[in-house]
């Protein structure tokens, strides 16, 4: 009994998983029971009543209540008719509910903000009765307000029948999202109540920002290089480059023997290789933005401006990563807030996709910005050939960070998300948030 109570209590505080939780409940150790109770009522309200049902049921309740108070009123006839419709809808809906409907769903691992992506479904009616007016995944994936795209409506599905189809949706914002388990519901017969079934597995999708690719990116020439090898490079066979053949010497690897040349010359000939050196590039992405107090921003304008500025920094960071992914650089990313997180990439597309995943999930840090770096981080940056520093503002803490990197002999390209001003050094690149979000930044 105690175990059941703990499980129900945990499920209550986690909230309904078939709707997207409001931002005020995410990432908080304390969740108000009152707000969660209202959220649970709203979730079941959404899941059990159709749009006509949300009108008919309250009207039916009022009419029946009025008819019980005034017995001789002709409203009793209307009340009896409405009650008959509701009871019939409940009885037939319960009988033909999708209790043995199997739903398989395939969601892509990644998508792009605002761009449609495809979802594959396969449903099978394993029951003995047919089903009508079936809707698959009617609730939004990414927000409580919904997103572009529609759920698929299936007019009928016979007993034992299987159906496969595809549909499209689009994500209105970037980030990592947990998608609820597949939901199949029917509104048969009168579209007042919903009868649903959940099954299968949930999914996780990462939505990348809708950045505009950068065609030209000037990277400062660094003095440090990385020997290309299996520990640093993700492409098999990139550890050495073939430069020619020579005669066999004691200690050579027998697997490097070039047999056609050996047969032609009558003596052992081996292939000779040399190490290739690659330049490492690091991106330091600033994510400090002070929080906005709700009381000082009743209309949400400051919060919206804060979100736009950070989204511009995310888009620019993603565009820089995308540009470097098409070159022969090794890429490291340092995400700087109060703490600094280091992510090491390689040269394979999969590694760059992973780095884009991390950038897509970045959120602003309202704590003090980083102005000092640990010796370990400085050692790593000193071994990197070049550093691209992306700053949200140019102020005293960020100035100390820039001087610290410069004093350690690190070659930097500094980009500030701001309009050009006299306070920002002329050697820095300035990009306004409007130009970044509109895709007007093509070269840096």
CATH number of the domain that residue 153 is part of: 2.60.40.10
pLDDT tier, 235 (very low <50, low <70, confident <90, very high otherwise): very low
Distance CA 427, CA 50 (A): 60
Q: What is the pLDDT of residues 300-326, one digit of tens each?
A: 788 888 889 999 999 999 998 888 887
Distance CA 373, CA 382 (A): 12
Q: Do 60 and 200 sit in the same domain of this protein?
A: no
Distance CA 386, CA 283 (A): 9
Q: Do 69 and 127 sit in the same domain of this protein?
A: no
Report yes or no on 222 lying in a domain. no
Indicate whether 224 pLDDT > 50.
no
Q: Do 204 and 123 sit in the same domain of this protein?
A: yes
Indicate whether 327 pLDDT > 60.
yes
Start-end of H helices in 15-102: 33-48, 51-69, 75-95
pLDDT tier, 31 (very low <50, low <70, confident <90, very high otherwise): confident
Of 257, 275, 293, which one is at a domain's C-terminal end? 275
Q: Do 151 and 291 sit in the same domain of this protein?
A: no
204-212 mean pLDDT: 91
174-183 mean pLDDT: 89
Number of helical H runs and strand E runs in the chain: 10, 20
Distance CA 134, CA 152 (A): 8
The pair of three-digit structure tokens given for residue 174, joined into one six-digit string: 């970037």
Of 386, 127, 414, the residue nearest 281 (C-alpha): 386
pLDDT tier, 222 (very low <50, low <70, confident <90, very high otherwise): low
Q: Do 126 and 199 sit in the same domain of this protein?
A: yes
The pair of three-digit structure tokens given for residue 372, joined into one six-digit string: 């000092």
Q: Do 112 and 129 sit in the same domain of this protein?
A: yes
Collapsing DSSP to helix, strand or coil, 225 comes out as: coil
Q: What is the pLDDT of residues 295-304, one digit of tens each?
A: 777 777 888 8
Q: Do 290 and 420 sit in the same domain of this protein?
A: yes
According to the model, what pLDDT value does residue 441 have? Answer: 86
Of 255, 275, 295, which one is at a domain's C-terminal end? 275
According to the model, what pLDDT value does residue 27 have? Answer: 61
Report yes or no on 230 lying in a domain. no
103 CA to centre of own chain: 24
Indicate whether 269 pLDDT > 90.
no
According to the model, what pLDDT value does residue 28 have? Answer: 64
According to the model, what pLDDT value does residue 8 have? Answer: 84
For the full predicted model, state whether its pTM sits above 0.95: no
Q: What is the pLDDT of residues 53-66, one digit of tens each?
A: 988 888 888 888 88
Asked whether the beta carbons of 136 and 183 are under 8 A apart, the reply is yes
Asked whether the beta carbons of 332 and 386 are under 8 A apart, the reply is no
Of 426, 413, 358, the residue nearest 385 (C-alpha): 413
289-297 mean pLDDT: 79
Q: Do 386 and 424 sit in the same domain of this protein?
A: yes
Of 115-119, 139-143, 279-283, 367-371, give the lowest mean pLDDT range.
367-371
**Which DSSP category does 361 fall into?**
T
Report yes or no on 109 lying in a domain. yes
Count of structural domains, the chain: 4
Indicate whether 228 pLDDT > 50.
no
258-271 mean pLDDT: 85
- CATH at residue 412: 3.40.50.410
| Percent of the chain predicted with pLDDT > 70 | 87
| Percent of the chain predicted with pLDDT > 90 | 13
Report yes or no on 169 lying in a domain. yes
Of 226, 256, 275, which one is at a domain's C-terminal end? 275
Q: Tell me whether strands 269-275 and 240-247 are parallel, antiparallel or unpaired.
A: antiparallel
Q: Do 313 and 409 sit in the same domain of this protein?
A: yes
Report yes or no on 113 lying in a domain. yes
Q: Do 351 and 396 sit in the same domain of this protein?
A: yes
CA-to-CA separations, 274 to 21, 180, 229, 280, 385, in angstroms, rounded? 56, 52, 11, 19, 21
Indicate whether 380 pLDDT > 50.
yes
Indicate whether 386 pLDDT > 60.
yes
Q: Do 9 and 146 sit in the same domain of this protein?
A: no
Q: What is the pLDDT of residues 89-103, one digit of tens each?
A: 999 999 999 988 999
Indicate whether 174 pLDDT > 50.
yes
Report yes or no on 134 lying in a domain. yes
According to the model, what pLDDT value does residue 144 have? Answer: 60
330-344 mean pLDDT: 75
Report yes or no on 150 lying in a domain. yes
The pair of three-digit structure tokens given for residue 159, joined into one six-digit string: 């007993």
Provide the residue range defining the domain that includes 107.
Answer: 101-208
Report yes or no on 218 lying in a domain. no
Q: Do 41 and 113 sit in the same domain of this protein?
A: no
């Amino acid at each position: 009994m105690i175990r059941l109570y703990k499980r129900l209590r945990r499920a209550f505080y986690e909230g309904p998983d078939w709707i997207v939780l409001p931002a005020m409940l995410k990432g908080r150790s304390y969740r108000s029971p009152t707000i969660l109770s209202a959220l649970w009522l709203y979730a079941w309200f959404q899941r059990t009543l159709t749009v006509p049902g949300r009108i008919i049921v309250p009207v039916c309740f009022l009419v029946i209540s009025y008819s019980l108070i005034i017995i001789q009123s002709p409203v009793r006839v209307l009340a009896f008719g409405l009650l008959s419709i509701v009871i019939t809808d409940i009885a037939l809906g319960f009988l033909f509910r999708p209790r043995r409907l199997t739903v398989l769903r395939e969601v892509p691992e990644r998508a792009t903000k605002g761009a449609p992506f495809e979802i594959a479904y396969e449903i099978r009616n394993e029951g003995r009765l047919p089903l009508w007016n079936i809707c698959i995944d009617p609730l939004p994936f990414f927000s409580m307000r919904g997103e572009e795209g529609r759920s698929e409506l299936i007019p009928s599905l016979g007993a034992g029948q299987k159906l496969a189809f595809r549909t499209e949706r689009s994500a209105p914002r970037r980030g990592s999202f947990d998608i609820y388990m597949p939901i199949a519901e029917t509104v048969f017969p009168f579209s007042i109540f919903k009868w649903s079934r959940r099954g299968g597995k949930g999914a996780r999708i990462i939505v990348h920002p809708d950045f505009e690719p950068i065609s030209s990116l000037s990277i400062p020439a660094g003095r440090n290089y990385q020997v290309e090898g299996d520990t640093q490079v993700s492409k098999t066979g990139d550890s050495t480059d073939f430069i020619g053949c020579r005669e066999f010497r004691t200690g050579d690897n027998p697997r490097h023997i070039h047999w056609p040349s050996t047969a032609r010359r009558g003596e052992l000939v081996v292939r000779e290789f040399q190490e290739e050196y690659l330049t490492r590039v690091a991106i330091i992405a600033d994510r400090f933005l002070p929080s906005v107090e709700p009381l000082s921003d009743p209309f949400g304008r400051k919060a919206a401006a804060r979100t736009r500025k950070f989204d511009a920094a995310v888009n620019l960071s993603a565009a820089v990563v995308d540009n470097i992914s098409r070159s022969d650089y090794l890429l490291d990313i340092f995400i700087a807030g109060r703490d600094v997180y280091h992510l090491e990439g390689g040269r394979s597309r999969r590694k760059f996709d992973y780095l884009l995943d991390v950038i897509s999930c970045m959120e602003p840090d309202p704590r003090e910005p980083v102005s000092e770096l640990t010796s370990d981080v400085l050692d790593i940056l000193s071994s990197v050939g070049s550093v691209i520093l992306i700053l949200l503002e140019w102020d005293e803490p960020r100035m100390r960070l820039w001087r610290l990197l410069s004093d350690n002999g690190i070659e930097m390209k500094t980009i500030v998300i701001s309009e050009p001003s006299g306070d920002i050094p002329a050697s820095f690149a300035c990009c306004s948030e409007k130009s970044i979000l509109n895709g007007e930044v093509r070269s840096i």
